[in-house]
Amino acid sequence: MESQIQMISDQIRNEDDFLVVSHYNPDGDAIGSTCAMGHILQYLGKKFTLYNISGVPHRYDFVGKPAPITSTLPATLPKWTIVLDCGALDRIGEDLLARLDETTIIDIDHHLGNGDYGRFNWVDVRQPAVGSMMAVLATHLGVPIIDGLAECIYLAIATDTGFFTYGSTTPESLELAAQMLRHGLDMPRMNKMITKQWTEARMRLWTEVMASVELYADKQIAIGVITQEMFERTGTTSEDTESIINFISRLKTVRVSVILREEAHESYKFSLRSYGNDNVQQMAVRFGGGGHKNASGGTLEASLKNAIEMLVDVISGSLDRP
């Protein structure tokens, strides 16, 4: 691990222009680590372009960005592209995927089964977020973790750990949070900005999704459904669905919770969450998806009825142990 960090640090020191990218439909870790990488490069006096094929969800507008995140690739790509928080390379989006012969990848990630798709790969599945890896990198490169950089790192870790509540939370991430707090990070403001983002439309959508939840396998599996029709009627988008699944997971009897989100006719994005030893990454892989042990996802091309049947079958088959 040390040697990977060393090689990537050397590469960053020696080169002077970078594209920084994370996955489409970015979450807090994707946006936070992209901006954190930008802050590090800015401090080091490097040129850089921050890019995300989906742009930045409005709810993350508040975080201190070193430069805007563009959703359009530059005409000429930098020699080096730093890919963050992408468990599979196709998550960078089709635009950049089509131009990989123009650039060389540095892969920094914390997903199981990453596959080391870069020229340099630093993949650490024990890290709670790529944001915490940005803190390790900053320390290596002598960049102080304060101000905008601390905000971005905090956004990344707080969202990927559910505010330091998930099993992925590490002593190091708590120590890092303490260090950032000591150095002036306004944590209450950050927590408010991250959570106090609801519109009335979102609340209406959430009540409908909660009402859609059905329980399977002795109430050990909960499945909620979001259709395009619900989005249209409530005036919401997929941005409004992040973390609904965590509330469904709170059902006492439930070991695996599922959200199925209709993306197109007979095409559903699925999200899975679990606790402890129930490994939803292995379940997602069965459907060509991936992620982490307790949080994973993928896409199912099937009717809603078939999608639910297939998921219940695979999940209940993996839950035979108490």
Which among Mn ion, ligand 5GP, none contacts residue 38 (Cβ within 5 to 8 A by kind)?
A: none
- Tell me how far apart the alpha carbons of residues 251 and 164 are, in angstroms, rounded to a whole number: 20
Check if the beta carbon of residue 201 is closer than 8 Å to that of residue 234.
Answer: yes
259 CB-contact burial (10 Å; exposed 0-12 / middle 13-18 / buried 19+):
buried
Q: Which does 292 bind (CB under 5 to 8 A by kind): Mn ion, ligand 5GP, none?
A: ligand 5GP
| Nearer to ligand 5GP among residue 23 and residue 143 (C-beta) | 23
> Can you list the alpha helix ranges (DSSP code H) found in 86-227?
94-97, 130-140, 147-160, 171-182, 187-195, 200-212
**Interaction residues for Mn ion, span 155-174 (CB under 5 A):** 160
Interacting positions 208-227 with ligand 5GP (CB under 6 A): none
**Could you tell me which of 224, 297, 304, 295 has the C-alpha nearest to residue 264?**
304
Residues 108-137 binding ligand 5GP (CB under 6 A) are 111
Supply the minimum distance, in Å, between the C-beta of residue 290 and ligand 5GP: 3
Q: How far is the CB of 159 from Mn ion (least distance, A)?
A: 8
Contact 153, 145 (CB under 8 A): yes
Binding of Mn ion at residue 278 (CB under 5 A)?
no
Considering only residues 199, 227, 299, 316, which one is a binding residue for ligand 5GP as defined by CB under 6 A? 299
Q: Which of 8, 29, 206, 295 binds Mn ion (CB under 5 A)?
A: 29
Q: Report, in Å, the least distance between residue 255 CB and ligand 5GP.
A: 16
Neighbours of 22 (CB within 10 A): 32
Nearer to ligand 5GP, 152 or 258 (CB): 258
Per partner kind, with CB cut-offs from 5 to 8 A, the member of Mn ion, ligand 5GP, none near residue 32 is none
d(CA 200, CA 84): 33
Q: At what angle do helices 147-160 and 171-182 cross, to 10 degrees?
A: 150
Q: In terms of CB distance, is 41 or 296 closer to ligand 5GP? A: 296
* 292 binding ligand 5GP? (CB under 6 A): yes
Q: Please report whether residue 85 would count as binding Mn ion according to CB under 5 A.
A: yes
- Nearest by Cα to 118 from 7, 239, 241: 7
Residue 160's binding partner out of ligand 5GP, Mn ion, none, with CB under 5 to 8 Å set by partner kind: Mn ion
Binding mask 58-77 for ligand 5GP (x = CB under 6 A): --------------------
Residue 295 contacts ligand 5GP per CB under 6 A: yes
User: 217: phi > 0 → left, psi -120 to 50 → alpha, else beta; which?
Assistant: left
* 117 closest CA partner among 131, 97, 133, 136: 97
Interaction between residue 290 and ligand 5GP (CB under 6 A): yes
Number of residues that bind Mn ion (CB under 5 A): 3
Those residues whose C-beta lies under 8 Å from the C-beta of residue 178, and which sit 6 or more positions away, are none
DSSP code per residue over 36-62:
HHHHHHHHTT-EEEEE-TT---GGGTT
**Binders of ligand 5GP in range 231-260 (CB under 6 A):** none
Comparing every residue's Cβ against Mn ion, the nearest one is 29
Interface residues toward ligand 5GP, by CB under 6 A: 87-88, 111, 271, 289-292, 295-299
Interface residues toward Mn ion, by CB under 5 A: 29, 85, 160
